Amino acid sequence: MDLIERIKPLVEEIAFKPVTNEEALYTSNLIDSMGTVDLAMMLEEEFNIKIDTRDIIESNFDSVDKLVNYIKSRI
């Protein structure tokens, strides 16, 4: 299973709808601040990593593609 197949369902669970890999999650208001915290915790559990709060920024968390790149850098 590739990273997109593991990350996308988590994002869609938080967004409550299907999303594309490049769809902006913040500027389109699909995920709010509480959703971001929930998503970060889900990613930590899924990939057995620790996400520093300083890493929870738009350039890392604003799309499935950006999340894939961020997770690749952490594992």
- Read off the pLDDT of residues 27-62 as tens digits, 9 standing for 90 and up: 888 999 899 999 999 999 999 999 999 999 989 999
Q: What is the pLDDT of residue 13?
A: 95
Q: What is the pLDDT of residue 27?
A: 80
Q: What is the 3-state secondary structure (H, E, C) of the chain?
A: CCHHHHHHHHHHHHHCCCCCCCCCCCCCCCCCHHHHHHHHHHHHHHHCCCCCHHHCCHHHHCCHHHHHHHHHHHC
Which amino acid is residue 16, in one-letter code? F
Which CATH number describes the domain made up of 3-74?
1.10.1200.10
Q: What is the pLDDT of residue 64?
A: 96
CA distance 63 to 21: 6
pTM: 0.90
